[in-house]
A and B are shown apart, each in its own frame.
Chain A
Amino acid sequence: MSLESSSLSLPASPTINQTHDYAGRTWQWDGRRWKQVVPAWAANLADPPGLVRLAFGSINNATTADFSLVGFRDIYRGFLWHLTNWVPVTNGAVFSAHFSQDGITYDAAAGTYRYTHNSTTSAGTSTIANAASTVLSIAQGPGGVGNLINQGVAAFVELWGAKTTPRILVTSYSIDGQATPEGAAVSLGGGQRVAAAQCFGVQFGFTGGTISGDYAFYGYT
């Protein structure tokens, strides 16, 4: 996470390494922008928190939910998202992720990602996989993800190796979009880019339509 100095009431002429408190966080000027740093009290603790909440909130009818890791990547070695009750506007869409190489734009070209996960329903367990996809699938029951208010998906997503070999590990549960909906649990899943590249951001969304739901974003120290 970073802040452009023009967007907020920040010190006008900061010196390199100068710190500033804003939005409950501590920011440090690196000569070009304000980057978030570990607060002194956390750095000095004998038992530092292993998991720090970085952001939380709700999204309402947004096309995607984008999480830039710029700034965070240098502080946290892994990331965790709790995505609660994400409901698509379009019935039957696939819940998925994209990675970014700059924290701004997200890669969605054909053949960019590979993923695999199981999906267990009342009909049994099936494998959902793709070795050359435009998305990193996180949840898709037999009928995608249902769009009624009590349907949607809840997911637990971890990202490790953002600066080396970015990979996500996933568990999720969704109510699918069939005429007779049923629950679909992903008990194990994972994915990554086909071609090696560092990860500077993660974008969550459905393959069709907008989304609404709650999120919490954590960093592993």
Chain B
Amino acid sequence: MSLESSSFSLPPSPTIGQTYEYGGRTWQWDGRLWKQIAPAWLLTDPAGLVRLAYGSVNNVATLDFVLTSWTSKYRNFSFKLSGLVPVTDAVGFQCRFSTDGGATYNAGATDYDYAAQGTIDTAVAASLGSGGAALLAIASTATVGNGTGEGISASIELWKPTSAVLWNRITYLSYFISSAATPAGTAIGGGGAREAAQDTDAIRFMFSSGNISVGDYALYGWL
């Protein structure tokens, strides 16, 4: 965006790089035009939430986020997963952590604990949990449907993954359409942890069996 100097009451003889406030925006003279630039407040009071990555997946086994270049700058991370549909019907949705930038992911038999509550639109309550598992479950095994319009959407927070004191953990809220003969909407809220204080620098999302057919994602960092 640019402004012709004749269209407003702008400084008559600006120098290159000179800034000017007009219309609630900050403008900078580049020698020919006034161009809009980031306002000063954004530089001194940066946005608290920064988008780091986004995109779509198509028939992939896992959705991996390598955080190595961001863990020193952002204290927490938000993963927004929209309409992830499994290739295989009746599967769980889960994640694993990595300490080597995604080269390998922790999958020991008792590496994770998790606990969650769920409700189903047939007015049934559910829960899932484990004190020692090889994965961190977000939706129970044999639940997520693979039909058109089914799959899972989730909002997941990863809290301070570099903590050398606390077990690294996530909290989440998800909603999916189940694989039942009469598919049901299911909301699950919960959390889980890697049962070790470690410098987690990557996280992997996947279904318990089969690929992720389609879905969108966005990753945000909290300053």
Contacts and interface: CB of A to CB of B under 8 A. Distances in A.
A166 to B, nearest CB: 9
Interface in B1-38: 1, 23-26, 35-38
B82 A160 contact: yes
B108 interface: no
A34 B35 CA distance: 21
B92 interface: no
Interface in A153-203: 158, 160-161, 164-165, 167-169, 171, 187-192, 196
Chain B interface mostly = strand
A49 B184 contact: no
Contacts of A165: 82-83, 149, 151, 153
Interface string A110-131: 0000111110000001111111
A8 to B, nearest CB: 15
Interface size, A (range): 35 or more
Contacts of A19: 1
A93 B37 CA distance: 47
Interface string A88-118: 0000000000000000000000000011111
A51 interface: yes
A171 B173 contact: yes
A116 B185 contact: yes
Interface string B174-189: 1101000000111111
A12 interface: no
Contacts of B39: 41
Interface of A: 19, 21, 24, 26, 39-42, 44-45, 47-51, 77-78, 114-118, 125-131, 158, 160-161, 164-165, 167-169, 171, 187-192, 196, 220-221
Contact of A169 (B26, B42, B50, B155): B155
Nearest to A167: B153
A164 B83 contact: yes
A171 B42 CA distance: 30
Q: Tell me if A's interface is mostly helix, strand, loop or mixed.
A: strand
Interface residues of B, number: 51
Nearest to B51: A50
B205 to A, nearest CB: 15
Centre residue among A24, A164, A221 by max chain B CB count within 10 A: A164
Nearest to A190: B175
Contact of B125 (A125, A131, A167, A171): A125
Contact of B49 (A49, A126, A131): A49
B51 A48 contact: yes
Contact of B153 (A114, A127, A160): A160
B209 to A, nearest CB: 21
A24 B24 contact: yes
A75 to B, nearest CB: 12
B68 interface: no
B169 to A, nearest CB: 17
